[in-house]
Structures are given as structure tokens and as C-alpha cells.
């Protein structure tokens, strides 16, 4: 009898996997009754969707928010000067906080579209997210991959993608935070496909999601997007997509409506924090961003929401609302082909592909192992 109980206990333990401080439960439930529909893996809870026009946003909450104060974000670092981004071969030099030169222009020769130089002069490791836009230099660029830049790291050759096709001039070689994360179609092409031409194509088309000919027209047409970014005809400026006057669509009103409803839906949480969202367009669940803490989510939320809104406006105006069951699928861990990259003692990046779903996770390895960001998307192609 005791052996039987011990064997059952071991079996339960084997059904539990822990990833970066968030526990994910695998295997059949101990009880024949299914768990309550609001309970998700890793003590995540999926709230009812916030809906407006053709978008549904499911808040993801948790009582197990991690402490992420040890990490610096790109926006914070660029604003304070603790992080510097420059073109390859730019003139001048940068000194660290101790006065030593940490950047020499002679070390890098020749600017290039798909690589910048980043220096972290802060006393905190720097968190970078794929899709973050940096503005300046010869062209505006978007970060190509989630990663962490440690303290006292040498100048980092940073892989990026251009979203401003045509311009290759600039008075200042330095970059500033654009307070923008590119919308999901562009972010997918940068983070998953990693191809410059496909990034440009996604900028011009607005969305890469395929729609049948009979689908209701989007509020933001491909023609209006291309007209907005065309500028003087010789360059394409991505950020014009976010300007209502340029695209002829009330983007700010769309964002404010979703923001207000989201705030109302999450205002009475007790002992929980919002740590992420699952996003659906016209009933199709397409995207999820989840963070290790409520603080990290709060930092990125406004930028993410604007990116989700642009994607919604570029997609057909279906008014369907996604099902809770389909949204819950975006909280499960994928089982499929795994690709990993790691900087020992700093971070581990992992991509898991299962059919048309792709999951990307960024683990910080110091001061303890923790999954800082988890992206799951339904690929549009």
C-alpha cells in the first residue's frame, strides 16, 4: 500500500515542469473532473475578453508576479544615456561610468543596414525585445531578437532590420527610443522570419494575414498605408502608420477605447497582477505577449496596445469575438521543434515551432533563472 502511494506521488511530480519561476502543469489532472476554465498553466488566469470593433484582448493575470527590477529596458536606457546605439563606423567615442573608453570608431568600419553597435553603460543588464524601434542614424531600425546585454559588456554588434526603406542619410549617428513596438505582422517577419525584404513587405502591406476576397474591407487600406509612409517619394517612414492624419483612420480613438475598457476590466483584481494578454482579430486568436512581472507588462503595455490596434485596423473588420477555449490554447506550452541560443550566465533564447504556432521565450540566467518574456503567435504564412 505504501509503495503504491509513493509511486503515485512520484507520478504527480513527473507531471510538473518548472520554467524560469513559472510552473507549467503537464499530463492528465489528478481528478477525473476538468479544472475550472479560468485556471491556466503556471498559475495564470485568463479573464473575459475586452472587445472593440474587430479586436478582442484577453488579460492574463497571475498572483505570482516576479521581481524584475534588476533589469533595464531599452527605452529607459536610451532616455538616461546609460545605453548608446550608433551606426557602425560613426565618429567619436564613448566612455563608461569609470571613465574608460568602451567604444572606438576604428573598431567598426562602414555603416550597414542590418547591424548597429549597442553599448550598455548602466549597472543593470539590458532587456531588448524583438520589434522595439530605435529612431535616428541613417535609418530607423527595429530590434531583431529578444536578448539581454550584460553589465560591462563590450560594444555589441546588434542585429536589426530597417523599417524606413530609402533613407540612408542622417545628421546624427546616434539613436533615440521611438517609444514604439512595430505591429504584429512586421514583428513576426523580424522576430521569426528574420528577412529584411519580408519586413519591408509587411510594412507596406499593413498586415500579412490572408483574407478571402469576400472579407469586409479594413479601416486602414494598403493604399492609405503606402501613401502615408511614402513621404517625399524617396523614403518610407514606418512611424507615419501610427499618425491618424496620415492614414485617415482614428488610431488614437481606437487605442483609447480599448485602453479604457481594459482598465475597467482589470481594476478590481485582488492579489493578482496583469502580466500579459492574448489578442484576437475578428475571432481569430493570433498573438500573445506575457511577461515575468506586472511591472514589465505595465512598462510595455501602451506601446504593445498601439501595435495591436494598428494590426486590427489593417485587418478585415470582422466583428466576431474569439472563443475563450481558443484563447486558452495560447497559454499552453508548445511541443515541437526547438531552437536555442545562449550566452552562458546571461540569457537563453528559445524558439518552439508546432505547426503554424511559434513560441519564443527569453530566460534570464542571472541573478536567477526567470522567463522574462514569452511570445506566442499564429503565423500568417
pLDDT tops 70 at residue 103 = no
- The answer to whether residues 110 and 125 belong to one domain is yes
Whether residues 311 and 374 fall in one domain: yes
More confident residue, 169 or 317: 317
Angle at 304 between CA 51 and CA 316, to 5 degrees: 50
Contact 351, 338 (CB under 8 A): yes
274: preceding bond cis by omega (within 30 degrees): no
Express each pLDDT in 298-308 by its tens digit.
Answer: 999 999 999 99
In a domain, 8, yes or no: no
- Is residue 14 in some structural domain? no
pLDDT tens digit string along 10-66?
A: 444 444 333 333 333 333 333 334 333 333 345 799 999 999 999 999 999 999 889
C-alpha cell at 24: 507549467
Supply the DSSP symbol for 125.
Answer: P
Residues 6+ apart with CB under 8 A from 26: 15, 16, 17, 333
**Contacts for 256 with CB less than 8 Å, ≥ 6 apart:** none
65 or 262, higher pLDDT:
262
Total number of domains constituting the chain:
2
Distance separating alpha carbons of residues 186 and 193, to the nearest angstrom? 10
What are residue 101's DSSP bridge partners? 95
Q: Which domain holds residue 366?
A: 19-68+251-378
53: left (phi over 0), alpha (psi -120 to 50) or beta: left
CB 307 within 8 A of CB 184: yes
Residue 273 falls within a domain, yes or no?
yes
192 plus 308 within the same structural domain: no
Which of the residue ranges 152-161, 168-177, 264-273, 320-329 would you say has the lowest mean pLDDT?
A: 168-177
* Residue 120 CB contacts under 8 Å (≥ 6 apart), including other chains: 72, 77, 82, 83, 126, 149, 150, 151, 153, 156
Q: Is 325 a member of any domain?
A: yes
**In a domain? residue 362:** yes
In which residue are the cell numbers 567598426 written?
A: 108
Number of residues that make up the chain: 381
pLDDT per residue as tens digits for the range 332-361: 889 999 999 999 999 999 999 999 999 999
Indicate whether 234 belongs to any domain. Answer: no
Q: What is the pLDDT of residue 247?
A: 82
Residue 318 lies in a domain: yes
Count of CB atoms situated within 10 Å of the CB of 298: 13
- Residue 129 CA to its chain's centroid (Å): 6
Selection from 197, 196, 216, 218 nearest residue 207 by Cα? 218
Query: Residues 24, 89: one domain?
Result: no
User: Are residues 186 and 84 part of one domain?
Assistant: yes
Residue 52 and residue 118 share a domain: no
In this prediction, residues 106-128 reach a mean pLDDT of 81
The answer to whether residues 262 and 163 belong to one domain is no
What does pTM read for this prediction? Answer: 0.82
Whether residue 365 contacts residue 271, with contact meaning beta carbons closer than 8 Å, is answered with no
Q: How far apart are CA 236 and CA 231, in angstroms?
A: 6
**Do residues 96 and 50 share a domain?**
no
At 243 the pLDDT is 83
Backbone φ and ψ for 27, nearest 5 degrees, come out as 85, 175
Q: What is the mean pLDDT of the chain?
A: 82
- Dmax (CA) for the chain in angstroms is 81
Q: Can you say whether residue 50 is alpha, beta or left, with left for phi > 0 and alpha for psi between -120 and 50 degrees? A: beta
Indicate if 86 and 59 belong to the same structural domain: no
Asked which of 180, 196, 212 is the last residue of a domain, the reply is 196
Q: What is the pLDDT of residue 303?
A: 95
Quote the percentage of the chain above a pLDDT of 70: 79
- Shared domain for 46 and 132, answered yes or no, is no
Query: Please, how many CA atoms are within 13 Å of residue 220, restricted to the half-sphere of its CB?
Result: 30
Where is the domain boundary, 196, 219, 242?
Answer: 196
94-95 and 83-87 strand pairing: unpaired
80 contact partners, CB below 8 Å, separation of at least 6:
122
* Domain end call among 172, 196, 220: 196
**Which pLDDT score is estimated for 107?**
44
Strand partners, 86: 117, 174
The enclosing H or E element of 154 equals none
Per-residue pLDDT, 20: 38
Kindly state whether residues 58 and 167 are assigned to the same domain.
no
Q: According to the model, what pLDDT value does residue 24 have?
A: 32
d(CA 317, CA 54): 5
Q: Return the H-helix or E-strand segment holding 72.
A: strand 72-73
Identify whether residues 142 and 119 lie together within a single domain.
yes
Residue at 107 is within a domain = yes
Amino acid at each position: 500500500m505504501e509503495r503504491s502511494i509513493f509511486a503515485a506521488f512520484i507520478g504527480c511530480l513527473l507531471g510538473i515542469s518548472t520554467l524560469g519561476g513559472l510552473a507549467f502543469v503537464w499530463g492528465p489532472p489528478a481528478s477525473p473532473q476538468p479544472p475550472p476554465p479560468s485556471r491556466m498553466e503556471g498559475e495564470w488566469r485568463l479573464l473575459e475578453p475586452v472587445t472593440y470593433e474587430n479586436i478582442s484582448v484577453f488579460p492574463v493575470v497571475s498572483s505570482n508576479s516576479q521581481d524584475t527590477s534588476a533589469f533595464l529596458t531599452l527605452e529607459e536606457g536610451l532616455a538616461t544615456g546609460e545605453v548608446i546605439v550608433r551606426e557602425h563606423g560613426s565618429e567619436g567615442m564613448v566612455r563608461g561610468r569609470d571613465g574608460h573608453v568602451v567604444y572606438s570608431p576604428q573598431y567598426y568600419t562602414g555603416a550597414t543596414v542590418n547591424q548597429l553597435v549597442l553599448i550598455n553603460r548602466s549597472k543593470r543588464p539590458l532587456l531588448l525585445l524583438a520589434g522595439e524601434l530605435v529612431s535616428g542614424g541613417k535609418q530607423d531600425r527595429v530590434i531583431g531578437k529578444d536578448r539581454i546585454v550584460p553589465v560591462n559588456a563590450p560594444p555589441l554588434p546588434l542585429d536589426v532590420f530597417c523599417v524606413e526603406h530609402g533613407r540612408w542619410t542622417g545628421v546624427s549617428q546616434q539613436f533615440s527610443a521611438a517609444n514604439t513596438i512595430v505591429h504584429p505582422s512586421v514583428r513576426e517577419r523580424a522576430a521569426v522570419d528574420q528577412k529584411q525584404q519580408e519586413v519591408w513587405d509587411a510594412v507596406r502591406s499593413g498586415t500579412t494575414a490572408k483574407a478571402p476576397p469576400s472579407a469586409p474591407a479594413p479601416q486602414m487600406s494598403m493604399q492609405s498605408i503606402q501613401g502615408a509612409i511614402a513621404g517625399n517619394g524617396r523614403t518610407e517612414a514606418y512611424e507615419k502608420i501610427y499618425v491618424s492624419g496620415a492614414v485617415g483612420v482614428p488610431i488614437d480613438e481606437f487605442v483609447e477605447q480599448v485602453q479604457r475598457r481594459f482598465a475597467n476590466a482589470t481594476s478590481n483584481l485582488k492579489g493578482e497582477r496583469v502580466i500579459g494578454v492574448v489578442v484576437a482579430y475578428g475571432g481569430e486568436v493570433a498573438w500573445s505577449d506575457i511577461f515575468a512581472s506586472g511591472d514589465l507588462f505595465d512598462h510595455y503595455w501602451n506601446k504593445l496596445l498601439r501595435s495591436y490596434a494598428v494590426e486590427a485596423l489593417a485587418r478585415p473588420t470582422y466583428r466576431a469575438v474569439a472563443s475563450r477555449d481558443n484563447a486558452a490554447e495560447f497559454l499552453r506550452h508548445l511541443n515541437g521543434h526547438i531552437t536555442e541560443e545562449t550566452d552562458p550566465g546571461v540569457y537563453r533564447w528559445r524558439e518552439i515551432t508546432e505547426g503554424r504556432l511559434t513560441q519564443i521565450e527569453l530566460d534570464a540566467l542571472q541573478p536567477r533563472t526567470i522567463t522574462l518574456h514569452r511570445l506566442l503567435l499564429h503565423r500568417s504564412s
